[in-house]
Structure 1
Amino acid sequence: MSNRLLRVNELLQRETSAFLRKRYTSEAVGITITSVEITGDLREAKVYYSVLGDDTVAEKTGKWLRGRRDEIREMLAKNVIIRHVPLLTFVHDNHAPRTLRVETLLGEIDRETPKP
């Protein structure tokens, strides 16, 4: 992936996250925009989010985000200088629980391993 795409991904992530925190203070308190992946032609972007809670909370949050998709794109059009504002697709990022589980297991292995 090119440096330009990486910078655009980070910029879209930062702007989307800041907008949600500022505009929807109470609704977005448990939502984290974990990453953004934009296509090479800058026309579409997957916005990955994680939430505190189980799968039902994640699905409800996904519906909520999809309902604000146009408003988020409008904000991006105003704040980000880019030729085409990408179409946004929100995807639940469920890597956080797995990452925590792996870290827990590694910690347990480390405690069980005898030190020389």
Structure 2
Amino acid sequence: MAKYRGGRINEEVKKEVSNIIQHEIKDPRMSAMVSVTKVDVTKDLRYAKVYVSIFGNEETKNNTLAVLKNSSGFIRREIGHRINLRYTPEIIIELDETIEHGMHIDALLAEIKERESHDNE
């Protein structure tokens, strides 16, 4: 039962954080597309690790990540208003590079496949 509740809280926080990032944060330095991929809220509801995937070049990624980390207090306050929890978790923003990692692995596999097809000819 508790695990089910934790999953619901994670999904609800993910939905709200994503909404806040898309519509509420108005910072000109945040020009990249940001996607919230995962949220892990601790069992005691004190901390929420928010994993974000940022699409853009390296400089844009760094600027956007800095903006998100600086606005974590604002995000926390908004979460407190929108979700009724005993404690409003402290927001920790982490960069999620699993999509880039997956694309890199795909490229490597395609390269190996290409080599094998040339070797068989």
Quickly name the TM-score band, shorter chain normalised. Answer: 0.7 to 0.9
Q: 2:57 and 2:96 mapped to 1: Cα distance? A: 12
Please give the alpha-carbon distance, in whole angstroms, between the structure 1 residues aligned to 2:56 and 2:32: 12
Find the aligned partners of 2:32 and 2:56 in 1 and give their Cα distance: 12
| Superposed CA offset, 1:93-115 (max 9, x none) | 000111223345556778979xx
- TM-score scaled by structure 2? 0.77
Runs of 5+ in structure 1 lacking a partner?
Answer: none
Aligned residues: percent identity? Answer: 27
Q: Which residue of 1 aligns with 2:78?
A: 75
The residue identity in structure 1 corresponding to 2:79 is L
Separation (CA, whole Å) in 2 of partners of 1:6 and 1:42? 12
Aligned to 1:41: 44
Q: Residue in 1 aligned with 2:22?
A: 21
Q: How many residues align?
A: 113
Q: TM-score, normalised by structure 1?
A: 0.80
Does residue 1:101 correspond to 2:90, yes or no? no
Worse-matched range after superposition: 25-34 or 75-84: 25-34
**Which structure 2 residue ranges, 5 or more long, are not aligned?**
none
Q: Give a deviation string over 1:8-27, Cα, whole Å, max 9, x none.
A: 11111100111121123673
Structure with max Cα Rg: 2
- The answer on whether the counterparts of 1:21 and 1:28 sit within 8 Å (CA) in structure 2 is no
Of 42-51 and 18-27, more deviation after overlay is shown by 18-27
Q: How many angstroms apart in 1 are the aligned matches of 2:79 and 2:31?
A: 18
Segment drifting more, 100-109 vs 7-16: 100-109
